[in-house]
Amino acid sequence: MQGVVAWFVRNPVASNLLMSVMSVAGLLAFLTVHQEEFPEINTQMVNITVPYLGAAPEESEQGVCIRIEEAIEGVEGVDKIRSTATEGACTVMVELDTENADSETVNEIKSRVDGINTFPAETEKPIISKLVMTRGVVQLAIAGDTDERTLKELGKGIRDDLAQLAGISQVTLNYVRPYEISIEVSEQALRRHGITLNQVADAVRSASLDLPGGTLRTEGGEILIRTKGQAYWGDEFANVVVLTRADGTRVTLDELADIRDSFEEGDIRARFNGKPAVVVKVFQVGLEDTLAIADSVRSYVDQRRATLPQGIELTLWNDESQQLVERFSLLANNAWSGLILVALLLALFLRPRIALWVTAGVPIALLGTIAIFPYADLSMSSITVMAFILVLGILVDDAIVVGERIHAHEEMGKPRVLAAIAGTREVSVPVIFGVLTTMAAFLPLIIVPGRMADFFSAIGYVVIIALTMSLIESQLILPAHLAHRRDDRATSRVGRVWERWQRRISGSLERFAREIYLPILRHSIEWRYATAAIGTGVLILAVALIASGRTVFGFFPAVEGDRVYAQLELPQGVSIEATTAAALRIEQAAEALRVALDAELEPEGGSVVVNVLSSIGVAVEREGPSRGGGSGRSHFAEVVIELRPLVERGNISAKDVARRWRDLTGPIPDAVRLSFNADAWSAGEPINYQLAGRDVDQLREAAAALRGELSRYSGVFDLADSFRAGKQELKLTLLPEARNLGLTLNDLARQTRHAFYGIEAQRVQRGQDDVRVMVRLPESERKSIGNLEDMYIRTPSGTEVPFYSVARFELDRGFSNIRRIDGRRVVNVTADVDRSAVSPEEVNASVQRDVLPKLRQAYPGIDIGLSGEQEERARAMGGLGAAAVLALVIIYALLAIPLRSYVQPLVIMSVIPFGAVGAIVGHWVLGQSLVFFSMLGIVALSGVVVNSSLVLVDYVNRRRREGVALMEAVLESGVVRFRPILLTSATTFIGLVPLMSNATPATAFVVPMAIALGFGVLFATVITLFLVPALYNIAEDFFGWDAISQGVSDVPHSGDVQPDHASLTTPAIERR
């Protein structure tokens, strides 16, 4: 390493070329690396969906879900199997074990599901896919007072146009119903002609088809033979012959049936600003660039608007790219502000040219980091930019060490080239080990488990790469620049004034260290056990801040967006008209809110509420493409209002808007759930308990009891459980008389299904649409129980008997959905919390202490545990704890190896808990909750704060080796190291000040980490200056100098054991 340093110092062209390569490569990578709001998350999930059209949830569970669960049970690499049985489908989500799963696991799951041959005949082919996280970029609302078909065709055209644009691979059309051709034959017509619905379907299949007939090989060549008779549109089925009588007359389909070429039966509706609408969603997949996609879509919209029919509006909606640009801009401003503050601080204490080159090393290191992005599978995202801001103040530390050490050798009279070589060599070992300890502290961010691991790992990778680049810059580039720099002496008037100010600041700091700090330090050492007791008391007070609730601990920071969601669920089975009326009431409340906000805030350039989108009949899906279609879910509704950006709406928060919207809406009669949410991102409900068991009645009772207990807590609202009553069901059974006629239960079930659900006669491909051709009774004969009773059942002999004479039914109510985990039915009880009144942690602690034991005793067959945010928190915190222990072990090893001591690393690391104290106090002072990101910051802090404490210990060791008495060595180390410890800690804190003081939704993820790092370093520095010297003396009291300094005499001289800050104690800085 020393030879390489000398070579670069003597060859400044090489160092300049290295700097240029790092800078140019970084700029090129910045221009080409893909940009996205958040890093891609590897879901490690396999989705299995089996449509079972017309089936009730219990039928989906018994016929499909359980059989899939049994088939894939025992597959290596499968962690958990979650299944949901709903009306018309079964969905199984297989969670893979990240450690044991591989591509063969997915193949094995697919093979086992494909091998199931016991599914009901009416099920469709299973759809099996590895779940890929897609991120919405922008949506387009096509709205106007026109019919459903026109809107859908316009939407299809726009969807297809967008899919053809470069860089866009996934576009979906939402809030539309699939096309369907419905052939409806009345009971009377069937009986009049003596035919069945099945015979009508067979006639359609026989008459409507295309079939290749082979090849005719003639002397002139080959000719293909084809039968062409496939009908594609409703009117093309009219001439299908259903019945030919003995006299030769024929009955065609148009004489027998009503043929409707329309949409699938079901209720899916959407309105945009009060007009019927469909929505096109554009997604970013894989390495696609979010901003490039948004730009392409905006250009297309500008052109397409001119060609739209009159009365049709095309509006950009939910443009995530705008938020990304705003977030990048805000973070970039924070980064520049932090860098400028660091530069100004350095300029107050260092020679101007040294300060200049030390500061210049930061952007060089950052550009070098970006150059690695394409090879490390990193993107330019909000998370990586936040990581840059976090590391700003840390990057200058090793450059300060090298720069000051080089200047010290220059003051000794050495030529600049030799001074650069000697100074860099002198601190190369401590600088390298200092960087390694900081890297070790950020290691937990890479290995922490949980759904957010990809978020955390991006921060860890960026910081570690940036520290590596900073090390290269400080060892190979900075020495050459300082060796060949111009004269440092100021020649201008401004320069001379600045030098005078530097001398004044330096003198004031030296006097403070000698006259104020030194006497206090002497007393703290003389009363070292009292000092240690005070330190312990400070730790206890910090714990008390959390225990008392003054500093609230949560898992995930509340991240507001510019949209507020109102989600409504009515009892299953209600009419679409009832749901529409309820949704209209929520829309009217949104309009009243818009008027009120505009009157209060008087915004310039437009209303506070920009757009309102309501959807009815589609289950709420905040992310990913809407599935739509099918029978719909007429009891669901969602209304979304889009707000202007925060700075343009008078800084009224989205949560305040949600609260006022809730108040204006009021209660909705019979609503199962009505929630208003302003969070742009969430790890799940803050209160979420999962109840698992095999006895459905016990599950229902236990869930109701838990809801009742939760309702007693103040500040807990939006209570709900997943145990929803389903639609009413008519359960059919055969009468004994039916068996005498040869009827079976299968005959009854199939004829009833054919009449009310229908027979799928064909599926035709009409362009991109897969259109089903259904044969069934008319809608008017499927509206009441009386229609069922009046239906005729055909016996095997061909006679027809009334339904009521061979069967009976019981009216019952099933489930809206059935959820299962690992073979058992589960119910989730959830609630939200008003965090201004109570914290989720308080409620959960009370529930687990006072409520759950009683419930477990009352319902012994039910397992109750945490789910949602709390489950994720427990998993993440457990993983973080293990990772933190690993990081501390690595830091200990990295200190013990160069120090050659077992005891001294413990003295040095004693400052780590006080860094955590500073982090807690910082959150309390700024009114922020401690969240999981805060804990990550505290773990990362451990590698930063040890460096200041190491500075003191190292100097004491040096002076003791020279024969100085313990007390004198410790006091001298405190005074001499006072300035470097203060400066390096201040650069770290100052670099984070812009971020800490700008807590907005755009920075909500990383502000807790910044507070933990910034205040932790600041507080640990104060503690280091007093507690570490006291602990050093206590260690010698117990073990003696020989025990705590094993091998210290062999350590290289002049601070080589210091990983970070030795150079700040040079004569050069003392003399200024």
| Residue type at 648 in one-letter notation | E
Q: In which domain, by residue range, is 79 found?
A: 43-132
718 vs 566: CA distance, rounded Å: 12
Q: Choose the final residue of a domain: 640, 660, 679.
A: 679
Examine the pLDDT at 1059 and tell me if it is beyond 60: no
Residues in Cβ contact with 163 at an 8 Å cutoff, skipping those fewer than 6 apart: 169, 170, 171
140 vs 1018: CA distance, rounded Å: 49
Residues in Cβ contact with 796 at an 8 Å cutoff, skipping those fewer than 6 apart: 741, 742, 743, 747
Whether residue 695 is contained in a domain is answered as: no
Same domain, 547 and 576: no
**For residue 730, what are the CA distances in angstroms to 51, 278, 427, 817?**
22, 35, 84, 17
Same domain, 669 and 735: no
pLDDT digits (tens, 9 = 90+) for 492-549: 676 677 777 777 877 787 788 888 888 988 888 888 888 888 888 888 887 776 666 5
Identify the CATH number of the domain in which residue 580 sits: 3.30.70.1430
Contact 354, 403 (CB under 8 A): yes
Examine the pLDDT at 727 and tell me if it is beyond 90: no
Contact 448, 880 (CB under 8 A): yes
Band (pLDDT 50/70/90 cuts) for residue 1045 is low
Nearest to 944 by CA among 445, 375, 437: 437
State residue 1040's pLDDT score: 65
Q: What are phi and psi of 68, to 5 degrees?
A: -70, -45
Same domain, 330 and 412: yes
Of these ranges, 316-320, 376-380, 402-406, 657-661, the one predicted with the greatest mean pLDDT is 657-661
Whether residue 861 is contained in a domain is answered as: no
13 vs 20: CA distance, rounded Å: 10
State residue 874's pLDDT score: 67
State residue 164's pLDDT score: 92
715 vs 717: CA distance, rounded Å: 6
Band (pLDDT 50/70/90 cuts) for residue 25 is very high
State residue 390's pLDDT score: 74
Whether residue 777 is contained in a domain is answered as: yes
- Please give the average per-residue pLDDT across 743-764, as a whole number: 92
pLDDT digits (tens, 9 = 90+) for 587-605: 999 999 989 888 887 777 6
- Please give the average per-residue pLDDT across 864-873, as a whole number: 68
Burial classification of residue 688, based on how many CB atoms lie within 10 Å of its CB (0-12 exposed, 13-18 middle, 19 or more buried): buried
Q: State what percent of residues in the chain have pLDDT above 90.
A: 24
Examine the pLDDT at 442 and tell me if it is beyond 70: yes
Same domain, 1003 and 890: yes
Of these ranges, 382-386, 535-539, 1041-1045, the one predicted with the greatest mean pLDDT is 535-539
798 vs 795: CA distance, rounded Å: 5
pLDDT digits (tens, 9 = 90+) for 117-165: 999 988 999 999 887 777 788 999 999 999 999 999 999 999 999 999 9
Output the 3-class SS for 253-291: HHHHCEEEEEECCCCCEEEECCEEEEEEEEEECCCCCHH
Whether residue 633 is contained in a domain is answered as: yes
Whether residue 859 is contained in a domain is answered as: no
Q: Choose the final residue of a domain: 791, 815, 839.
A: 815
Residue with the two structure tokens 């001398």:
503
DSSP per residue over 945-966, as a string? Answer: HHHHHHHHHHHHHHHHHTT--H
Band (pLDDT 50/70/90 cuts) for residue 913 is confident
Examine the pLDDT at 13 and tell me if it is beyond 70: yes
833 vs 871: CA distance, rounded Å: 17
Task: For residue 1037, give the H/E element and its range.
Answer: helix 1007-1044
282 vs 299: CA distance, rounded Å: 14
DSSP per residue over 895-943, as a string? Answer: HHHHHT-SSHHHHHHTTHHHHHHHHHHHHHHTTPPB-HHHHHHHHHHHH
Same domain, 636 and 581: yes
Same domain, 789 and 776: yes
What's the structural domain count of the chain? 4
Same domain, 442 and 351: yes
pLDDT digits (tens, 9 = 90+) for 167-213: 898 999 999 999 999 999 999 999 988 899 999 999 999 998 888 88
- Please give the average per-residue pLDDT across 603-610, as a whole number: 79
Contact 475, 500 (CB under 8 A): no
State residue 905's pLDDT score: 86
Question: How many CA atoms are closer than 13 Å to the CA of 774, on its beta-carbon side?
Answer: 27
Identify the CATH number of the domain in which residue 528 sits: 1.20.1640.10
State residue 987's pLDDT score: 80
Q: What is the mean pLDDT of the chain?
A: 82
Whether residue 950 is contained in a domain is answered as: yes
Residue 325 vs residue 281, higher pLDDT: 281
Band (pLDDT 50/70/90 cuts) for residue 450 is low
Same domain, 888 and 1007: yes
Examine the pLDDT at 327 and tell me if it is beyond 50: yes
417 vs 483: CA distance, rounded Å: 5
Whether residue 292 is contained in a domain is answered as: no
Residue with the two structure tokens 């060089």:
364
State residue 711's pLDDT score: 87
Band (pLDDT 50/70/90 cuts) for residue 1052 is very low
pLDDT digits (tens, 9 = 90+) for 83-112: 999 888 999 999 887 666 667 888 899 999
Residue 410 vs residue 201, higher pLDDT: 201
Same domain, 911 and 1030: yes
Residues in Cβ contact with 656 at an 8 Å cutoff, skipping those fewer than 6 apart: none
Same domain, 947 and 808: no
Q: Choose the final residue of a domain: 796, 815, 834.
A: 815
Whether residue 549 is contained in a domain is answered as: yes
Contact 420, 479 (CB under 8 A): yes
Examine the pLDDT at 1064 and tell me if it is beyond 60: no
State residue 632's pLDDT score: 47
898 vs 710: CA distance, rounded Å: 56
Same domain, 543 and 594: no
Examine the pLDDT at 478 and tell me if it is beyond 80: yes
Task: For residue 48, give the H/E element and its range.
Answer: strand 45-51
Q: Residue 866 in 3-state DSSP?
A: strand
State residue 1060's pLDDT score: 37
Q: Residue 135 in 3-state DSSP?
A: strand
Same domain, 464 and 606: no
pLDDT digits (tens, 9 = 90+) for 136-148: 889 999 999 999 9
State residue 622's pLDDT score: 42
